[in-house]
Amino acid sequence: MHYVFCIIDPLYGVFGGIYYIDRVYTRASFTQTNPQLSVSDYFKWDSNIIFPLLMAFVHVAWLYFLLRYLEVRKYGGDTKDVVGCVKKKGPVSVVPETNDDVIEDEDEDVATERSRIINWNPAVDKAPVVMVKGLRKEFSKRIKNSGFCKKVPDTVKTKVAVRNSTFGVEGGEVFGLLGPNGAGKTTTMNMIIAEEGPTNGKVTVAGFDIRSSLSDAFQAMGYCPQHDPLWDVITTKEHISTYAIMRGIHPIDVKGITQFFLKSLRIEEHADKHAKKLSGGTKRKLCYALSMLGKPDVVLMDEPSTGMDPRSKRYLWDTISSCFRGTERGGILTTHYMEEADALCNRVAIMVNGQMECIGSTQRLKDRHGKGYVLEVKLQVVSNDSAELEDRVEGLDEFVQGVFPTSERMECFGERITYKLPQSDVTSLATAFSALEQGKMQFNIEEYSFSQSTLEQVFLEFAKRQKEEEIDDKDEELVKAEAAKERSNSARRRLNSQHSRTGYSNLGAEADDITAQVKKPAVSTYL
């Protein structure tokens, strides 16, 4: 029995070994007044110590490999790495750095950025502070075969969260990562901070490969995550000083640095409040302060101003800008606020379905992907006659078309009319304005506004694609489940109508049968 326990119970090996060591000594103390035992007395086979201790080592070894295997399964990588890491030969990373996923019809700016990073020459070019090359992340999910036939294998669904992303962030630059929900921004961030392992690709932070020099990369990095990783019963001041010590700041400087951050973020009055009592905006400011401690070369900010009032937001923006402008520090920012991206980012990239759709300065994106200009006109109210208003609107349409030949009317609410003007129609702003001034008199225009498309409009155009593709990708099984649900409902409707006539119907069985299928469909809502 002793041997069986040694084999099946990992803890028995350790505790059994200790127990038998003690037993050898206790036995000897019964027979000798002053027991003098040598190592060989303990390590006799019949003392039952060797086998449990041997098995303890075996358990440690296989549990180690099991943990490594589970880690690789969860965070990505090659399962061969589980054994390879023991040899410690060469770099640990086995994640393929190359990515063969060819993205068709890639935007020319995205392709230019890709070739800039791929052809980066360390001898000639200055190194970007963050370099992301061919990054890909797949999430897999095993869907159990819910049928009776055990021979049908489980299906494995793969979700590509990030597809062949390549970009670099320069010192002094804030790089914005935008995209609708589920576009892959957080997954990209998680791969940069090594929270998730990539399926393919390479990330370097301040010149350190995050796979092979993780500790160095971490020292060069500050991270302000989306959620607030604060301790409830620790004060604002204590948070800053604790993180400062963890970031390697000398204890003599900690007090001064804490005061500096409290003052510069205007949170001095909350210095002695517990984190759980802070408002959402103050928590975000504190998280930002924590990410900046220790002068990191790279700061990753995941929606830093969420929950802040407009005044605090603008103050934080000023602080962020001054922390990066003219320095060698680079930042990556994800946000859902387009004005934040416009205010802070030197360049932005918009991701859709895991793929980078465009990249460049916000002005470049507006110029290339915006819908040109928007003209909003408000006509004066002359009478209550709707026919007369219609005539005036038609006249205005003709006039606008005369000035901007390919313009389109977008909306018309009473006297307010909005036109979309393609970029190509506006060759000179001066000509456009003088024509509009003439029209103002002619058509009794009360006021008009003429503006360029905003980043928000550009974003919405891309966000629409994500939705469309999501609908295209709709899981076949989900469609089947919806159809089954519809069949179930119609069976129930028929059942109800028959119940009143017959009091009994076998349609009940049909409906329940179909409902059962709907309750546990072999559906993946995962993709």
| Shortest distance in whole angstroms from residue 159 CB to ligand ATP | 5
| Shortest distance in whole angstroms from residue 183 CB to ligand ATP | 4
DSSP string, 310-333: HHHHHHHHHHHHHHHTTSS-EEEE
| Shortest distance in whole angstroms from residue 181 CB to ligand ATP | 4
Return the residue of 128, 168, 184, 439 that touches ligand ATP, per CB under 6 A.
184
Residue 185 binding ligand ATP, by CB under 6 A: yes
- Single out the segment in contact with ligand ATP by CB under 6 A; choices: 87-95, 174-182, 284-292, 386-394: 174-182
| Shortest distance in whole angstroms from residue 152 CB to ligand ATP | 24
Residue 139 binding ligand ATP, by CB under 6 A: yes
- Single out the segment in contact with ligand ATP by CB under 6 A; choices: 25-33, 178-186, 208-216, 444-452: 178-186
Residue 179 binding ligand ATP, by CB under 6 A: yes
Beta carbon nearer to ligand ATP, 135 or 514:
135
Beta carbon nearer to ligand ATP, 206 or 332:
332
Residue 159 binding ligand ATP, by CB under 6 A: yes
Between CA 514 and CA 522, with CA 517 as vertex, the angle to 5 degrees is 150
Could you tell me the CA-to-CA distances from 509 to 147, 492, 500, 515 in Å, in that order? 19, 10, 17, 10
Q: Count of alpha carbons within 13 Å of 185, Cβ hemisphere only?
A: 26
139 φ, ψ (degrees, to nearest 5): -110, 135
Beta carbon nearer to ligand ATP, 157 or 266:
157
Residue 187 binding ligand ATP, by CB under 6 A: yes
Write a three-state SS string for 124-175.
CCCCCCEEEEEEEEEEEEEECCCCCCCCCCCEEEEEEEEEEEEEEECCCCEE
Beta carbon nearer to ligand ATP, 252 or 471:
471
Per the CB < 8 A criterion, the answer to whether 168 and 113 are in contact is yes
Beta carbon nearer to ligand ATP, 182 or 307:
182
Per the CB < 8 A criterion, the answer to whether 290 and 224 are in contact is yes
Residue 450 binding ligand ATP, by CB under 6 A: no
Write a three-state SS string for 45-90.
HHHCCHHHHHHHHHHHHHHHHHHHHHHHHHHCCCCCHHHHHHHCCC
Residue 453: DSSP 8-state: P
Q: What is the Cα–Cα distance from 93 to 77, expressed in whole angstroms?
A: 8
Interacting residues of 337 by C-beta distance below 8 A, sequence separation 6+: 305
Q: What is the Cα–Cα distance from 118 to 201, expressed in whole angstroms?
A: 12
For 193, other C-beta atoms within 10 Å of its C-beta total 21
Residues numbered 286-305 forming contacts with ligand ATP, rule: CB under 6 A: none
Edge-to-edge strand ranges of the sheet holding 416-421: 408-413, 416-421, 373-379, 445-452
| Shortest distance in whole angstroms from residue 19 CB to ligand ATP | 43
Return the residue of 174, 183, 205, 445 that touches ligand ATP, per CB under 6 A.
183
Residues numbered 457-486 forming contacts with ligand ATP, rule: CB under 6 A: none
Q: One symbol per residue from 11 to 40: x for binding ligand ATP (CB under 6 A), - otherwise; what is it?
A: ------------------------------
Q: What is the Cα–Cα distance from 247 to 241, expressed in whole angstroms?
A: 10
- Single out the segment in contact with ligand ATP by CB under 6 A; choices: 5-13, 180-188, 272-280, 407-415: 180-188
Residue 199 binding ligand ATP, by CB under 6 A: no
Cα-to-chain-centroid distance, residue 239: 25
Residue 161 binding ligand ATP, by CB under 6 A: yes
Q: 3-state DSSP: the chain helix, strand, coil percent, rounded to 5?
A: 50, 20, 30
Residue 320 binding ligand ATP, by CB under 6 A: no
Residue 197 binding ligand ATP, by CB under 6 A: no
Beta carbon nearer to ligand ATP, 184 or 372:
184
Residue 215 binding ligand ATP, by CB under 6 A: no
Residue 274: DSSP 8-state: B
| Shortest distance in whole angstroms from residue 189 CB to ligand ATP | 8
Residue 182 binding ligand ATP, by CB under 6 A: yes
State the residues that interact with ligand ATP by CB under 6 A.
Answer: 139, 159, 161, 179, 181-187
